[in-house]
Structure 1
Amino acid sequence: MIRSARRTAGVVALALLAAPGLTACSSSGSGGGSPSGTVTVFAAASLKESFTALGERFEKEHPGTEVAFNFNGSDSLAAGIVGGAPADVFAAASPATMRRVTDEELTAGDPVAFARNRLAIATAPGNPHGIDSLADLAAPGLKVVLCDGTVPCGAAARKALTAAGVEVTPASYEQDVKGALTKVRLKEADAAVVYRTDVRAAGDTVEGVDFPEAAQAVNAYPIARLEAAPNPAAAEAFVAFVTSPDGRKTLGRAGFLAP
């Protein structure tokens, strides 16, 4: 289930579709005045650390608000929104994923790009297999994990691998970038192609390897208020906060590139 910015966020649950009371404390209407109540944000898994920090700041700057996050693969979040899951804001890891929502006319206005992200290879600390390039991921016996091709990190990884002319048979495909990174952290995989921001957030539990082909697979991140937002005033305020200079500074410190 969705939890507060002050707690670990959950995943999309079918129960959301049958939970009319979830946003009972949200403000109604989109008029002026200070936002209040709960604003529910569906955000790509790679945004977890930076958006959690932004949510805490938003709550402090807007007393009486609470940001409830649902972090997951962008495709799963888009499917939930199209299926009727109650949410105020959607932040996706690619324009293609956002189009699944805009094509259904479920956003209030055009989405706004607020950040970009590029890939890196995550290995165990010390890079014990000496991985220096995408080509090294094709080494016999090396256990590599990728994000599923339906999610932005997987589509970007496939684009980068194609650009490098490298064929990789992954040990597994993960449903979001955090799942791929966790395989490396738990030593269930030797390497994973993830975002540089996730490598940074993982600290010394992994080591990151940059590769030039990542420049050809940079993902832009769009954000939008949803048309059926239960709390439109707070949703608009949160989108404005994320896209503000202060919001972008927070994203920059997490390793995101400017939009």
Structure 2
Amino acid sequence: MAIDCLVLGAGQEVGKSCVVVSINGKRIMFDCGMHMGYLDRRRYPDFSLIPMPEKGSTFDDALDCIIITHFHLDHVGALPYFTEVCGYSGPIYMTYPTKALAPLMLEDYRKVMVERRGEEEQFTSDHIIQCMKKVIAVDLKQTVQVDKDLQIRAYYAGHVLGAAMFYAKVGDSAILYTGDYNMTPDRHLGAAQVDRLDLDLIITESTYATTIRDSKYVREREFLKAVHKCVSGGGKVLIPTFALGRAQELCILLEDYWERMNLKVPIYFSAGLL
């Protein structure tokens, strides 16, 4: 058994998730995200660190496939740059909802950065289209034979629509890569689910690993209490939620509370993706 991990992003930071795992001679890139806090070269993973089989090799020679866990930009934002600018043309796997929503997120980001803020264009609309043509969509719990040695399988991760944890097996070695996942059901998604697996390695998201949080019920109650107090006093509440999925969850929460309390205050939703 031989497993090596090269962390190109999201190691002790939130942003540009990208881990290249070598497992029994096969090399997989898990996620290909961007860091939203940088505008220079630190925005993307340092792809030059990926080992090449020999001099003159391309990324197609260095990687057997790319796996994307979900559509948030810190997990998929660098993908069109890596495929259309850096030249990777091999297989890319993600779930059907991720394949549907990722290009919307990427194009929205491109418009905001280039057309509104005047930043240098990193990839074009055509790059996004051509990138997504390389994507192979998979169902949850579908076992995919990437080649004769490598098989992968997606498991439900909660978090956002289409988010998945991915199992990969080569020979007698197996790993699980989670990306973001959620073990607490919310109002539109259930808790993550995964089979009992015999694994040699787990690579897991751990943003809140050392944080003890109040229960979801307590957090929702305090949030709704603060909102109600403000609007009852004639005030306005601005909720700057940046994540697709989180905004919809808050809208469902507020709508349900509005109906229960018979509130008539209007709620406005604004987003660049509309």
TM exceeds 0.5?
Answer: no
TM-score range, shorter chain: under 0.3
Structure with higher helix content: 1
Q: TM-score by structure 1 length?
A: 0.27
TM-score normalised by structure 2 residue count: 0.26
